[in-house]
Amino acid sequence: MMRNLKLEIEYDGTDFCGWQIQPEVRTVQAEMEKALLQLTNEIIRVTAAGRTDSGVHATGQVINFKTASHLPDHVFRAALNSMLPRDIRVVSAVEVDEEFSARFSARSRTYRYYIINKPVAIGRQYTWYFGEKLNLSLMQEACRIIIDSHDFQSFCQVGADVDHYLCNVSDASWRQENDNLLFEITANRFLHNMVRILVGTLVKIGKESITLPQFQAIINAKDRTVAGPTAPPQGLFLTRVMY
Amino acid sequence: MMRNLKLEIEYDGTDFCGWQIQPEVRTVQAEMEKALLQLTNEIIRVTAAGRTDSGVHATGQVINFKTASHLPDHVFRAALNSMLPRDIRVVSAVEVDEEFSARFSARSRTYRYYIINKPVAIGRQYTWYFGEKLNLSLMQEACRIIIDSHDFQSFCQVGADVDHYLCNVSDASWRQENDNLLFEITANRFLHNMVRILVGTLVKIGKESITLPQFQAIINAKDRTVAGPTAPPQGLFLTRVMY
């Protein structure tokens, strides 16, 4: 009888070509499946809540997989942590109902994006250095426009394989956290590069190079070419998945 | 007429073999002098307040050097940041009196050491993962024994080239900072590996494997072999130098 295990994992995306397994490059999924093979002697395919891109981090990624192993849950956590490279850690492991899918059962995902205004050496892998002054209250105003259900095609990488672009954003806000500006957004689903394109566009509002009505017009246009640039990956973290 | 410049710098020690220039390895001093040569066309020797070891970080290292360059102070900062690798940043640059030495004029230096109790991927380069429970109040008690002038030979790497082992510790304390335990210590001078050997010994008090009277006896012994192990470098930061 196969068990279904749910793991919460954390990883530093700096040295990974993203989550998804691909030939000849280092990915988080490949490292996870390699460690699971070593532990269980089974060829295991894992499913993640969010397939993060190259350079993107996670503190609350959730994955699941089926296994015939009888190892207790806490042993899975400790044994995997001894086998995995240091830039991936298993935070928790728990057996769940066989119907559970880390990807399809997820009700919401939360991402954070960090921006720093001063040049730093320590933690430079975890934030976007942006040297210009930003008007935080205008960026906060723009969040009110984002919240709720909208078609986010303007904030989706061209060529993404999706049926539709509708996302329900339940929360979006900016705040100061130590030396960083922190953007936090929760939605039922995210399109490819959506958070990074949103940040690249919100920063243009913060620089006062576009207005709030122009931002509204960008949403309405449903056209990637009118939105701002894609912010770099290292500021982005998948922080929480709710089921 | 030569000018004397004082720079405050930050660096991520992960990929450096410490501060001091050595043949064939990457050091912070070598990278600084290379950038200064590129900027000024002068062969410049820089002096640092603290010669940090391999893997040790700095957020408040201070250096000085003599130059014939007439570039304004703020240009030094910006130009060096454009030439230096991303793991070194110049925080400030200011011209000072010709007598000033980053090393010999320093009245006190402050170091921090971070310990984390849970396994992490994000920020693992900046903290020591220590899985056992620590009694913080006992470790805090031990700090009271450290403060003031003592002979710290028990906490100095054997073979260090020093005249004497007397250090005046003006402040030492532990506190919780988010998920980390943070040790902060300020003294007029530090011996080689002193903070790391202190941390390695204080952690034994925290584990309750040695008592406070035993800790006092370790200080009195003036013998490196009776103190605890040297804690790993990645938890250590040089954070402030006072003049």
Say which CATH number the domain at A151 has. 3.30.70.660
Q: Kindly state whether residues B149 and B195 are assigned to the same domain.
A: yes
Can you give the pLDDT at residue B159? 87
How distant is the Cα of A118 from the closest Cα of chain B, in angstroms? Answer: 9
Q: Is A122's CB within 8 Å of B86's CB? A: no
User: Which domain-ending residue is among B61, B96, B131?
Assistant: B96
Residues of A in contact with B89 (CB under 8 A): 119-121
Q: Enter the tokens of residue A147.
A: 């919240």
Token look-up 């990915």 returns A27
B207 and B131 together in one domain: yes
Across the interface, whether the CB atoms of B120 and A10 are under 8 A apart is answered yes
pTM: 0.91
B118 and B179 in contact (C-beta within 8 Å)? Answer: yes
Give the CA distances from residue B206 to residues A120, B134, B209, in Å, rounded to whole numbers and listed in that order.
Answer: 33, 4, 8
Contact A66, A4 (CB under 8 A): yes
Give the count of domains, chain B: 2
Any domain includes B158: yes
pLDDT tens string B111-166: 999 999 999 999 999 999 998 999 999 999 999 999 999 999 999 999 888 999 99
Tell me the chain B residues in contact with residue A57 when contact means C-beta distances shorter than 8 Å: 122
pLDDT of residue B224: 97
Check if B10 contacts A (Cβ < 8 Å).
Answer: yes
DSSP letter assigned to residue A48: E
**Same-domain pairing of A123 and A183:** yes
Q: Is residue A105 part of a domain?
A: no
* Cβ A223 vs Cβ A158: under 8 Å: no
A237 vs B contacts (CB less than 8 Å): 122
Find tokens 């009195």 and name the residue: B220
* CA of B196 vs chain A CAs: smallest distance (Å): 20
Tell me the per-residue pLDDT of A84-136, one tens digit each, with 9 for 90 and over: 999 999 999 999 999 999 999 999 999 999 999 999 999 999 999 998 999 99
> Do both A115 and A234 map to the same domain?
yes
The pLDDT of residue A178: 87
Together in a domain, B83 and B112: no
Q: Given a cut of 90, is residue B47 above it in pLDDT? A: yes
Instruction: Please tell me whether residues A76 and A129 are part of one structural domain.
Output: no
Quote the pLDDT of residue B161: 86
Residue B176 is assigned to a structural domain of this protein: yes
A53 is known as an active-site residue = yes
Burial of B140 (0-12, 13-18, 19+ CB in 10 A): middle
A92 and A184 belong to one structural domain = no
In chain A, residues 148-177 whose CB comes closer than 8 Å to chain B: none
Cβ pair B87:A121 closer than 8 A: yes
- Tell me the percentage of chain B whose pLDDT exceeds 70: 100
Q: Are residues A124 and A65 in the same domain?
A: no
Residues A136 and A78 in one domain: no
Residue B101, domain member (yes or no): no
Q: Which two tokens stand for residue B222?
A: 């003036």
In a domain, A103, yes or no: no
The b-or-e profile of A111-145 (16+ CB within 10 A means b, else e) is bbbbbbeebbbbbbbbbbbbeeebeeebbbebbeb
Note whether ipTM > 0.95 here.
Answer: no
Answer whether A26 touches B (CB < 8 Å).
Answer: no
Find the residue in B nearest to A239 (Cα).
B122
Interchain proximity B124–A88, CB inside 8 Å: no
In a domain, B103, yes or no: no
B156, B202: one domain: yes
State which residue of chain A sits closest to B58, comparing Cα positions.
A122
pLDDT band at B178 (very low <50, low <70, confident <90, very high): confident
Residue B38, H or E segment = helix B28-40
Select the residue of B12, B89, B121 nearest A119 (Cβ to Cβ): B89
What is the predicted pLDDT for the residue at A159? 87
Say whether both A143 and A176 belong to one domain.
yes
Cross-chain Cβ contact A10/B126 below 8 Å? no
Contacts of A87 in chain B (CB under 8 A): 121, 124
C-alpha–C-alpha distance, residues A239 and A109, integer Å: 8
Amino acid letter, A189 = R
* CATH code of the domain in which A22 resides: 3.30.70.580
| Predicted local distance difference test score (pLDDT) of residue B210 | 97
Are the C-beta atoms of A195 and A236 separated by less than 8 Å? yes
Q: Quick check: A1 pLDDT over 90?
A: no
pLDDT of residue B108: 98
- Closest approach of B12 to chain A, Cα-based (Å): 5
Q: Which residues of A167-184 are buried (b: 16+ CB within 10 A; e: fewer)?
A: bebeebebeeeeebbbbb
Q: Is residue A26 within 8 Å of A11, Cβ to Cβ? A: no
B87 and B124 both lie in a single domain = no
Which residues span the domain enclosing A36? 3-96
Residue at A200 is within a domain: yes
CB distance from B121 to chain A under 8 Å?
yes
Task: Name which of A193, A204, A185, A194 is nearest A139 in CA terms.
Answer: A204
Decide which of B45, B70, B96 is a domain's last residue: B96
Q: Is A83 part of the contact surface with chain B (CB cutoff 8 Å)?
A: no
- Choose the final residue of a domain: A71, A96, A121: A96
pLDDT band of residue B4 (cuts 50, 70, 90) is: very high
Q: Is the dihedral of CA A27, A29, A30, A31 positive or negative?
A: positive
Across the interface, whether the CB atoms of B12 and A124 are under 8 A apart is answered yes
In a domain, A124, yes or no: yes
Q: Do A30 and A85 form a contact (C-beta atoms < 8 A)?
A: no
pLDDT in tens, A172-228: 999 999 889 999 999 999 999 999 999 999 999 999 999 999 999 999 999 999 999
Tell whether A1 is within 8 A of chain B (Cβ): no
Contact with chain A for residue B88, Cβ under 8 A: yes
